[in-house]
Amino acid sequence: MMTKVFIEEHLDKYLKSLVKGKLFIPGVIIGQVIGNNYHIVHLSAMTVWNDDIQNNKIDVLAFKTLSDLLANSDTIFQKSLEVATLLPGGSHVLGLFFIVPQDLKSIQPIDIDFYAFHSELNENLLFKKPNETWNYLILNYSTVNKKSYCYSVDFNRVSGPEKTTYKAVDSVCGSFNNDWITFIGTFNFGTLDRLNVGGGPKALFSIRDSLLDKFESVLNESVCTFNGHVCDENKTFKDFECDEIDNVLKNVVKIEFYREVDLGNECKNASLTVKRGKGKISMSGLCSIVVPFNRNGTIKDALKAIHEDAMQTFATRLKMHLESMVEEESLEEEDGDANILHETPRRILILKTEGSKFAFSDYVFPGETSQEALCVAGEILNLAEDKMELYDMLEKGRHSYYETLPDIDSSPPQDASTSSSNNMLIYFTWAALILAIFAYVMKQIFM
């Protein structure tokens, strides 16, 4: 079967808008691989802060010569990793694009070290994805003949020198807005056991992998339903019925997880609680899964993407907890009575509104504004604010969910002033009663 690359129509205009004279401009290709076909939803030019600190302006990363570009490949790889951290499960950095001020007919594809690129992504991503069978892409756009050429990249390092081969592939530009759906669902950390750790952050980091393994086993034992139905794994989503959420998220398919449980051994409080000394981390259970997915994919492909997203969001939240604990370690050392309560960071969506409405993901702690995350995502993805939309309602108020559980004391804590007033009322009542008894006794004596 021939490999094809499907590219959102507006991205061709995006490439042309990046052209700046005779400069070499690198960027990241984002999308999904379904079967043998690549579906590109976004091209992200790499951005850097310019030298004019007063104006606080962001520029597109560019190089004067091809040699300069190749010499700065580490920077390109690192910028690609920043993009990868915003991707939901099932979506990947598919490769790199380059704007080249030359006639592409007379040059070969840019021979960048894709082995090092692959290693950088896989070694530094928080949740390591299993090796995929697809190859990376390289997309070249010539500013001379104003044409794009796409290649698949096959690299290997067998015994001897490294070898990279490039194969030209067909690219199809078009409008694919209706080809994308979004899976929305929730899971909770109540499926994991409580943990008590007394060794501080180092101990918590040491158990991170075991937590991920345990969570993955729970996912693999669960049954996932799509709009309330268990579907054949070979079924595609071409004619799947979709919903809409808040007039923002279109073409939504709701998913749910079911697993066999022993009610007698279920953890009472549906959350993962990690305690350390007098400090405490409380990872609330209800967390969202958000997976943009191409309609041409099968149920089997979707399940893989959904599991990947659940693992990524769990790993990301756990990492943020551990980092916040390290930052506040000094506070506990200075104040021995410190009792720090960490709340789980909340997932928010950064929706790309041009072309298909693709949902990137970021996380904010209580006290942080979602708008800040929108600005950071815009910088990393090189998206203007009018081409993004913020959606932060999926997990809003999720902590109050646990207050309704029957095995948790949901009675509101008494206010200190209310408690004091109640105590004073009791004292006055007793005093009045004693005074009345004393007066009655004295009256009987004198009479």
Mean pLDDT across 115-136: 80
Is the CA virtual torsion 63, 67, 68, 73 positive or negative? positive
Q: What is the pLDDT of residue 81?
A: 93
Higher local confidence (pLDDT), 24 or 319: 24
Measured between its terminal Cα atoms, the distance across the chain in Å is 115
Higher local confidence (pLDDT), 276 or 152: 152
Asked if residue 435 has pLDDT above 70, the reply is no
User: DSSP letter string over 194-210?
Assistant: -EE--SHHHHHHHTHHH
Nearest to 282 by CA among 220, 340, 203: 340
Asked if residue 420 has pLDDT above 50, the reply is no
Three-state SS sequence of the chain: CCCEEEEECHHHHHHHHHCCCCCEEEEEEEEEEECCEEEEEEEEECEEECCCCCCCCEEECCECCHHHHHHCHHHHHHHHHHHHCCCCCCCEEEEEEEEECCCHHHCCCCCCCHHHHHHHHHHHCCCCCCCCCCCEEEEEEECCCCEEEEEEEEEECCCCCCEEEEEECEEEEECCHHHEEEEEEEECHHHCCCEECCCHHHHHHHCHHHHHHHHHHHHHHCEEEECCECCCCCCECCCCCCEEECCCEEEEEEEEEECCCCHHHCCCCCEEEEEECCEEEEEECCEEEEEEEECCCEHHHHHHHHHHHHHHHHHHHHHHHHHHHHHCHHHHHHCCCCCCEEECCEEEEEEECCCCCEEEEEEECCCCCHHHHHHHHHHHHCCCHHHEEEECCCCCCHHHHHHHCCCCCCCCCCCHHHHHHHHHHHHHHHHHHHHHHHHHHHHHHHC
Is the CA virtual torsion 77, 83, 88, 90 positive or negative? negative
Q: Which two tokens stand for residue 436?
A: 């009345």
Q: What is the pLDDT of residue 26?
A: 95
pLDDT by residue (tens digit) across 220-272? Answer: 888 899 999 999 999 999 888 899 998 888 899 999 888 765 555 444 444 44
**Could you give the 3-state DSSP secondary structure of residue 357?**
coil
Q: DSSP assignment, residue 388? A: E
pLDDT by residue (tens digit) across 401-413? Answer: 333 333 323 333 3
Asked if residue 79 has pLDDT above 90, the reply is yes
Determine contact, residues 267/187, Cβ cutoff 8 Å: no
Nearest to 41 by CA among 52, 28, 24, 26: 28
| The residue to which tokens 């592409």 are assigned | 104
Q: DSSP assignment, residue 266? A: S
Those residues with Cβ within 8 angstroms of residue 441's Cβ, 6 or more apart along the chain or in another chain: none
Higher local confidence (pLDDT), 377 or 344: 377
Mean pLDDT across 359-377: 86
Phi, psi of 265 (to 5 degrees): -105, 5
Higher local confidence (pLDDT), 167 or 337: 167
pLDDT by residue (tens digit) across 43-78? Answer: 999 988 776 655 667 889 999 999 999 999 999 999
Alpha carbon 374 to its chain centroid, in Å, reads 13
CA distance 296 to 235: 10
CA distance 309 to 168: 31
Find the range with the poorest average confidence among 54-58, 197-201, 240-244, 344-348.
197-201
Q: What is the pLDDT of residue 328?
A: 54
